[in-house]
Chains A and B, each alone.
Chain A
Amino acid sequence: MKKVKVSTGILAMAVIALSATSCKDTKKEGNSTDGVQSEHMDDNGHMGDGMDDHSDMDHDNMQSSESMMSTNEHSMMSSKIVGDYLELKNALVADDKGAAAKAGGTMVASLNDFDTSSFPSGQQEELKDIIEDAKEHAEHIEKSPIDHQREHFDVLSKDVIDLIAITGTERTLYQDFCPMYNDSKGAQWLSATEEIENPYYGSKMMTCGSVQKQIN
């Protein structure tokens, strides 16, 4: 009888191990509605609405002409991504891994929603490339410790800078530079305020860095 017990136990463990491997991929749904500084919340809420209206319009526009979309409409499309990015940046400034992970998750969703089809075909390839790369970094930020989040944020910042270089943006942004990060190779980031708040070091070196240029 004892034998039965033992073998049952072993088999049960095998089954548990099996089922554990199959549910590895459960992804959590990021939601930006809490744990965020109110200033950026307002932006995001507003931008989110804009995006929805916009995607409805898209379909009408597409029938007539793809290139009819104005620069302004293109910049609206990236604004949700920029909003999520700034939220992520603020979380890293605040050394808040949890909030950064959440913002990363929200950003993955915004990147997924980004539709390149209204852009001229010459730009679509690069946009897709940027989006794909950014998505990978945002996904990692969603599930990494804070030092890794910052490493991914470095490359993600480049992606977002390149993205808005194509789409344009309707908001005023500051492109900042921290010379120390990355073994003194330096790293860029975007901020909505002129004051330096360093997302790579957070409270350790809050004011390290300088404004490289103002966008808009």
Chain B
Amino acid sequence: MKALKVTGWILLVALVGIQFMPTDRNQSDLIPKTDFMVVNDVPKNIESIIKTSCYDCHSNNTDYPWYNKVQPVAWFLEDHVEHGKEELNFNEWDSYSSRRKNSKLKSIISQIEDDEMPLTSYTLIHRDARLSDSEKKIVLDWVSKLKDSL
């Protein structure tokens, strides 16, 4: 029992301790010239859907939830955003070559079609990021058109 108590204390101290460890926050006010919305002629409704449902993890600016103040949640999110940006960063859209743009658009279409994006773990808390069937359709139609125009 004593051992248990000691372990409990150690873990508690560790958990409190990690709260003081800094994380890189993915935040920027700057909208680069290469941003998807800047270089493409995106209709307002589609811009709003993509910004709400995709930009938190796929741009340089995340609208953080309150629980991001708590570790280890913050680390989890940090890792998540980092990976998301690596795959696709809408802020850097125009720095991709046509070949890469085509690949990214293809992946965007297939991920949305198959309900793989936005991630369930994300929409669970960000209810407004969920895509309804009609939203899915207008986004897919528009993105397909953009892809064909490349």
Among A5, A15, A22, the residue within 8 A (CB) of B11 is A15
Residues of B within 8 A of A136 (CB): 103
Among B8, B18, B75, the residue within 8 A (CB) of A21 is B75
> In the complex, what residue of chain A is closest to B102 when comparing beta carbons?
A155
CB–CB B99/A8 < 8 A? no
Smallest CB separation, B80 vs chain A (Å): 8
> In the complex, what residue of chain A is closest to B99 when comparing beta carbons?
A133
Main secondary structure of the interface of A (DSSP, over half): helix
Chain A positions 1-35 with a Cβ under 8 Å from a chain B Cβ: 1, 4-5, 7-8, 11-12, 14-15, 17-18, 21-22, 24
CB–CB B100/A133 < 8 A? yes
Contact with A along B52-76 (1 / 0, CB 8 A): 0000000000000000000010011
B-side interface residues, number (CB < 8 Å): 23
A-side interface residues, number (CB < 8 Å): 25
Among A1, A7, A17, A151, the residue within 8 A (CB) of B110 is A151
Residues of A within 8 A of B15 (CB): 11, 14-15
CB–CB B106/A129 < 8 A? no
Residues of A within 8 A of B83 (CB): 24
CB–CB A4/B5 < 8 A? yes
Q: Known: A7-B8, A8-B8. Contact between A129 and B100, CB under 8 A? A: yes
The CA-CA distance from A170 to B130 in the complex, in Å, is 51
CB–CB B103/A22 < 8 A? no
B11, B75, B100, B110 interface centre (most CB from chain A within 10 Å): B11
Residues of B within 8 A of A15 (CB): 11, 14-15
Among A5, A24, A155, the residue within 8 A (CB) of B103 is A155
The CA-CA distance from A17 to B73 in the complex, in Å, is 9
Taking the complex as formed, is A97 at the interface, i.e. its CB lies under 8 A from any CB of chain B? no
A8, A15, A129, A137 interface centre (most CB from chain B within 10 Å): A8
Taking the complex as formed, is A197 at the interface, i.e. its CB lies under 8 A from any CB of chain B? no
Taking the complex as formed, is B7 at the interface, i.e. its CB lies under 8 A from any CB of chain A? yes
Residues of B within 8 A of A132 (CB): 100
Residues of B within 8 A of A151 (CB): 106, 110
- Can you report 16 A-B residue pairs in the complex whose CB atoms are below 8 A from each other? A11-B12, A11-B14, A12-B11, A14-B72, A15-B11, A17-B76, A18-B76, A21-B72, A21-B75, A129-B97, A133-B97, A133-B100, A151-B110, A155-B102, A155-B103, A159-B99
Q: For the complex of A and B, list the 10 residue pairs with the smallest distance between their C-beta atoms, beginning with the closest.
A: A11-B11, A18-B72, A8-B8, A129-B97, A21-B76, A133-B99, A4-B8, A155-B103, A133-B103, A133-B100
A-binding residues in B (CB < 8 A): 1, 4-5, 7-8, 11-12, 14-15, 18, 72, 75-76, 79, 83, 97, 99-100, 102-103, 106-107, 110
